[in-house]
Amino acid sequence: MRVVVVGAGIIGVCTAWYLCEHGFEVVVLERRDDVARETSAGNAGVIAPGYVTPWAAPGMPGKILSYLMSREAPVRFRPTVDRRQWRWVARWLRECRLERYRVNRLRMQRLAFYSRDELHELRTALGIDYHQSSGYLQLFRSERDLAMAGPARALLEEQAIPHRVLDADGCRAQEPALSADTPLAGGLYLPDDESGDCLEFARALRRAAEACGVDFRFGRQVGEILVEGGRAAGVRIGDGERIGAAAVVVAAGPESDRLLRPAGIDLPIYPVKGYSATVPLHEGAAAPAQALMDEAYKTAITPLGDRIRVSGTAEVGDADLKPRVAALRTLLKVGRDWFPDAGRWDEASLWTGARPMLPDGPPVLGATPVPSLFLNLGHGSTGWAMACGSGRVVADVVAGKQPAIDLDGLTLARYR
């Protein structure tokens, strides 16, 4: 039985792998020339199930307003005339209430913890090395930032997620390479969270999937999902080629909504732009041992083998992926602040991507009202952390098997 997967980002590649494991004939259609060429290419690489959190959070609207005048703001909102943007914002504002935040966060964590377990199983089974490192250290430059993390810390306590609150000396003991010149009030360390290179993983899993029999077809822009006799029957490529299938899984990232609308599925997915800078390390330099997050700038710093990646910034309302110089300058400043001598900062490779963001936070997985049409999309800022779990869940649903986690709040039902 043939299943077509649209999109070969990390979500599509993981979905294809698990579908193949279930014994399906799998065809992956991707408009670019390789896997993980778009949002999955240059992300921060953080896998932090203990700390996955929706953007729709109490206090966020006020924070964004306070950032409006700052050039270094980690979050920017640019109003446009795009109706999709306002629809997204209206729902996002409703989801910022504390009770909604808690519900959404728990839904995301349920998937992220499962996903981490699946990732570990897969990397052991396939022997995949993707520059993984253990631990996640959040840095707070000021007492105010430290105090603002109080509610998140309370949730960690409540959920019994292992973590340690550190003072400045404790942070430096945990991460000895940190510069002593940058102000530091304290930190929060999550020993069970981790990081790794999403692109390397996607490439390795593509090779394993091909060996399993998955047929990756690149340079294929899917123009239409074919619905025949009331069910998904395949797709049509932009040039008119028809590819028939018994089931179609849409994993097309931020642009999935365009494909789905003609099939009667109208999801408020919206691209939220972000950046990363990847720099080679000086030989023998003291580099970070684990992923870090500078909370003041909402900027992640991740070790990736002989490179460091600095990433962050969220821009709502900027449709094109042109880099904004001020944002990249801020990333490099944060990297230099903490690790001035580690990286060859002048040789940074710069990258821009668009998070496929739903307003409440969790992705949408599984079946749709159109028989044989399935979704795996809307993973926002935590798609790498949720990729293996999401791929496994969707493959299970396609195969008619009971997924290992409860899908309540992770399906299309919450948008209907």
Ligand X SMILES: Cc1cc2nc3c(=O)[nH]c(=O)nc-3n(C[C@H](O)[C@H](O)[C@H](O)COP(=O)(O)OP(=O)(O)OC[C@H]3O[C@@H](n4cnc5c(N)ncnc54)[C@H](O)[C@@H]3O)c2cc1C
Residues that bind ligand X (CB under 6 A): 6-12, 29-32, 36-40, 43-46, 220-222, 251-253, 255, 259, 274-276, 300, 311, 353, 355-356, 377, 379-385
Looking at the Cβ atoms of 128 and 185, the one nearer to ligand X is 128
CB of 131 to ligand X, least distance (A): 13
CB of 217 to ligand X, least distance (A): 9
Looking at the Cβ atoms of 55 and 185, the one nearer to ligand X is 55
Looking at the Cβ atoms of 170 and 223, the one nearer to ligand X is 223
**Cβ(231)–Cβ(372) under 8 Å?**
yes
CB of 143 to ligand X, least distance (A): 26
CB of 296 to ligand X, least distance (A): 17
CB of 14 to ligand X, least distance (A): 8
**Cβ(282)–Cβ(259) under 8 Å?**
no
CB of 416 to ligand X, least distance (A): 21
Looking at the Cβ atoms of 10 and 185, the one nearer to ligand X is 10
Looking at the Cβ atoms of 108 and 185, the one nearer to ligand X is 108
Looking at the Cβ atoms of 97 and 329, the one nearer to ligand X is 329
